[in-house]
Amino acid sequence: MDFKITNDAVNRGIEYIMRHLEDEISIDDVARHCNISKYHFSRVFRSQTGQSMYGFIKRLKMDQSALKLKIEKKKSITDIGLDYGYSSSNYSSAFKKHHAISPLEFRRLVNTSCVEHPFFEDVKASFLSFEEYDKEIRIEDLGDFPVIYERNIGNYIELGKKWCEFTEKYKEYLKEDTLLIERSYDDPSITDLDQCLYDICMTVEGNCPLENITTIEGGKFAVYRFSGSIPGIFTAFQGIFNVWLPDSGFQMDERYGLGIYRALDAEKMHVVMDLCIPVK
C-alpha cells in the first residue's frame, strides 16, 4: 500500500529522524522537535505512514546499517552496530530478526557482479567493473536545490504514475530550466519494496508560494551519467553501491542519493539521468 505524506509535522519528524538516525532518539524527542504532543503525533504519524514511529525508526536503523555493511567493507560489523546504538550481540540479534539473516552472512552475500532485479523479473541486473564505473564517475560540488516536493512511502514501480500526476499538478511551475529530481532514502535491494521512502521533486524559484517547498542540500557528489532503459536505473545505482563505492576511497555521507533527469522518453522507456551519490 502506498502512502503520500502530506502532513507538515510528519515530514519534519521524518527529516529529524533521518538526521539523527545514529543518535539515541525517542518518540518524545521527535514529537518535541515538532512541537506536538507525543500521543497526537504518534496517531498522525501512523495514519500518514502506515507505521508506528518506533517501528519506522527501528526499520531505518536496520536498513541503513545493512547499506553500510555493503558499502563500508573495511568497517567492522561491531562498529556499524555501535553507530546505530546497538551492542555487538544485540545488533546481530536485531538484524537477524529484521532481515532473516545475520550481519556476517549478509556481508558475505553482497554480490559484485549482479543482483536480482526487484521490479522486472525478466531483467538481469549485471554490473560493470570498478574501472568502467570509475572512468565515468565525476566528483562534483552541487548547489542547493529549492524544490516543490511530495514524499511517498511505497514501491518504486509506481514512480511513472506518480511523476505523471506530479508534473500535471504543478505544470504551471514547469520552466525551460526546471529539473525533475528523485531523492531516495532506501535501497530497494534491502528495504521491503512497499516501505521505500522517496521524494519526487521539481526545482522552483525561491519565492514560490506553495507550502510543500523544501531545499535539497548540495555539496560533494559522485555523479554518474546514466543513459538507457528505465529498468537499468536500478542496475546502475546498485553497481555504484556494490562495486564502485566500496573501493573508491570515498564514503557516503549523511545526505541521500539523487536522480536528476536530463531527458526522458516515456514511450520508449529510455532515460538520461545523473545518478548522484553524496560523498565525503
Q: pLDDT tens for residues 65-78?
A: 999 999 999 999 99
Q: Which three cell numbers stand for residue 96?
A: 537477524
Which pLDDT does position 265 carry in this prediction?
Answer: 87
CATH code, residues 135-278: 3.20.80.10
Q: How far apart are CA 120 and CA 122, in angstroms?
A: 6
CA–CA separation, 128 and 10 (whole Å): 39
The β-bridge relationship of strands 124-126 and 213-216 is unpaired
Give CATH 1.10.10.60 domain extents, the chain: 3-109
- Grid cell 514511529 is found at 53
In order along its 280 residues, the chain shows pLDDT tens digits of 789 999 999 999 999 999 999 888 899 999 999 999 999 999 999 999 999 999 999 999 999 999 999 999 999 999 999 999 998 889 999 999 999 999 999 999 988 888 888 887 777 779 999 999 999 999 999 999 999 999 999 998 888 899 999 999 999 999 999 999 999 999 999 999 999 999 999 999 878 999 999 999 999 999 999 999 988 999 999 999 999 999 999 999 988 999 999 998 878 889 999 999 999 9
Intervals of CATH 3.20.80.10 along the chain? 135-278
Q: Output b/e per residue, 33-61; b: 16+ Cβ within 10 A.
A: bbebeeeebbebbeebbbbebeebbbbbb
pLDDT at 72: 94
Structural contact between residues 11 and 148, judged by C-beta atoms closer than 8 angstroms:
no
Beta-bridged to residue 116, according to DSSP, are 124
pLDDT in the model for residue 1: 73
- At residue 207, the pLDDT reads 85
Q: What is the pLDDT of residue 50?
A: 95
For 3-109, CATH number? 1.10.10.60
- What span, in angstroms and rounded, lies between the C-alpha atoms of 84 and 272? 36
Sign of CA dihedral 274, 74, 15, 63: positive
β-strands 197-203, 145-153: how paired? Answer: antiparallel
pLDDT tens, 140-156?
Answer: 999 999 999 999 999 98
Residue 266 confidence (pLDDT): 78
Per-residue confidence (pLDDT) for residue 151, from 0 to 100: 97
What pLDDT shows up at residue 60? 96
H, E, C per residue of the chain = CCEEECCHHHHHHHHHHHHCCCCCCCHHHHHHHCCCCHHHHHHHHHHHHCCCHHHHHHHHHHHHHHHHHHHCCCCCHHHHHHHCCCCHHHHHHHHHHHHCCCHHHHHHHCCCCEEECCCCCCCEEECCCHHHHHHHCEEEEECCEEEEEEEEECCHHHHHHHHHHHHHHCHHHCCCCCCEEEEECCCCCCCCHHHCEEEEEEECCCCCCCCCEEEECCEEEEEEEEEEECCHHHHHHHHHHHHHHHHCCCCECCCCEEEEEEEEECCCCEEEEEEEEEEC
